[in-house]
Each structure stands twice: as C-alpha cells, then as structure tokens.
Structure 1
Amino acid sequence: MIAGIGTDIVEIQRIQDALTRLPTRFPKRLLSGPELGYWETLSKRRRAEFLAGRFAAKEAMGKALGLGLGSLHPQQISIMLGQNGLEIEWLDADSVEYSGDSWHVSISHSDTSAVAFAIWEKF
C-alpha cells in the first residue's frame, strides 16, 4: 500500500553557492558515508549536480513521510546506484521503522535543476 509520495526540485546553482561557502561542511551535512565517498570521486560540476539530486531526493522522501527534511537527518539515508536502479538504505537506528518498507526514488537533472520523486510503500 502506498503510504506517501513526495517530490522536490532544487536549483543546482544554489547548491554550488553552498559548496563555495562551505566546501567540506555542506556535503558532510547532506551525504551519508557511502555517498560522500562516491561524491569525492566526481568532477567539480558533477559534484554540485550530485548534491542537488540527493538533496531533492531526501527532501522528497521526507515529504512522503509527512515530515520534511527538517525532521530527518540527511546522513541517515543512503541513496546509491545499484544493479536495479537507486537503492535506499536507512543507516540510523532511529529510522529503523522505515527500513523494512519499500522505497522508490527517481532523480533527474537538467543543466540548471535537479528533481526527485519518492514513493513510500508500507507492507
């Protein structure tokens, strides 16, 4: 059963501006350990795009939960590309209630924006 849906859009330039102001702090506040490791391998342009996509995806997931990103800690959610698309892993013990559920997340980019859509299924 679908328990919630969420969507979000982020301007990539906004993320680039945050990276300029907080080059190490901002990614550490948004990304999980596995995401941060992958992010560090990317080019400067791709880094801002990746962060914008992950920000939008985590915000969309928060909206699907009815919480928004302010009530979640972005580092507790890891969104990594797997064999069958994006794989969602909840890393924080406080979020274990969501880890058994099914999440479907899609991220897309244009030259200027990143958009994400999330569906939360409860069993």
Structure 2
Amino acid sequence: KLNGNIPAALNNANELRALSLYNNKLSGGIPDLSKLTHLSDLYLDNNNLKGKIPEHLGKLKRLKDLRLSRNGFTGKIPDEIGDMDNLESLYLDRNALTGNLPITLSQLDHLEKFHAYDNKLK
C-alpha cells in the first residue's frame, strides 16, 4: 500500500483522465490538483487523508466521479463542489464533515449518486 502525502507534482500531469489512489495509507491533505482539467475520475477513498476538502476541486469541470469516503476530512463541504458541471457521483461518507449541505449541490444537474452518511452534517 502507498503511504505518505499525495505528491503535489501530480498537478503537472495535465492530460490525466483518471486518478485512482483508493484503499491505501495516504495521509495529509489533498494537494492542488486544479491543473488536471481533463480529469473525469478521482478516487481517494479509504485512506488517512485529513483536513478540509479543498475549494480548488471545483475547478475540475470534467470530473464525473469524486470519491472521498472513509477518510478524516473535517469542516464544511465547499460551495465550489457545485461548480463541477459534469459530476455524476459524489461520495463523502464516513468522514467528520460538519455544517449544512451547500445549496450549490442543487446546481449539479447530472448528479445521480450522493453519499454523505456517517458525518456530522446538519
């Protein structure tokens, strides 16, 4: 299994279409991935990631599947998640997220699957 931080240099892989790092022992936060504009699938579930879900993920306009389940993310779900026009699946379950669901989630016209159970959401 992979451990340590997610390398920030991944942001230079401009043509990357899918990033699958699930079921490892990765720690730290999510580095800036905003240059991965072709990314359609981001799987970071079942790791030891912590901190807030970064706002820059909202810049990944082609993202269809975002999986951040089973980590230690805290804080609110960023409003910028609602900017992901093509998002079909959003998995945020089993973290320590707080606050209300952002109203911007209602802008996700293509969203088919949304899991946010086992958090501290209102």
Normalised TM-score (structure 2): 0.24
Question: Which structure shows the higher helix fraction?
Answer: 1
Normalised TM-score (structure 1): 0.23
Greater relative contact order structure (CA < 8 Å, 6+ sep): 1
